[in-house]
Every structure is written in structure tokens, then in C-alpha cells.
Amino acid sequence: GEDVEQSLFLSVREGDSSVINCTYTDSSSTYLYWYKQEPGAGLQLLTYIFSNMDMKQDQRLTVLLNKKDKHLSLRIADTQTGDSAIYFCAFRSGGYQKVTFGTGTKLQVIP
């Protein structure tokens, strides 16, 4: 099955950029997602990228995909305290009826 790894914790200062990384093993992944989980809440889809893309930008969010290294990253520019949350990468593999989630990275933003 799919193995997905994320670092558990990241701390940044307000106003700096945050980069959350994710590595995966299944090269057939077709859709790749980033979800945000705020305390006491469910997961919320932030953005997604198709496997035939290298980069996607959406306001303060930039997603980079390196298919050769099987590495996905999420960059948050001008990080705010409201960005403090757990961030999950997730993958849908072609032909499979499910999405596999990473372990989650807890982002702490220091004022």
C-alpha cells in the first residue's frame, strides 16, 4: 500500500514562510491534496494538484510536486497565527477507491 511520511512538527514566526513537506511511495498517485485541521474540527480541503503538474499557486499557498523524488510540499507565505493547525497531505491513486493520508504536521505560529 501507499506509505506517506510527514514531519510531525514545525514552528515558525508570524510573517515568515512555512514549508510543510511530504514524501510518498506510490508513483501512480494521480491527485494530491493538502488538508488543514484546526483544533476540534474536521479536515478542510486547502488545495489539490494533479500529478501532471509541477506547481500550483493559490493566494498565499504554493504547492510543489517533484514526481521524480516523490515529494510534495506546501508553502504558506506570510504565515499568520490563524494558520496554526495540523496539515495533512493525501493521495488518490489511479483506480483505487480511496485517499491515503499522511501522518500530519502540526504547524505552530509564534507571534
Q: Which residues bind another protein (CB under 8 A)?
A: 1, 4, 6, 8, 31, 33, 35, 40-45, 48, 88, 92, 97-104
Question: Which CB sits closer to another protein, 44 or 57?
Answer: 44
**CB 22, min distance to another protein, A:** 11
Give the three cell numbers for residue 96: 483505487
Question: Which CB sits closer to another protein, 83 or 91?
Answer: 91
Report residue 110: phi and psi, to 5°: -95, 125
Question: Which CB sits closer to another protein, 15 or 53?
Answer: 53
Residue 85 near residue 36 (C-beta atoms within 8 A): yes
Give the rounded distance of the alpha carbon of 73 from its chain centre: 6
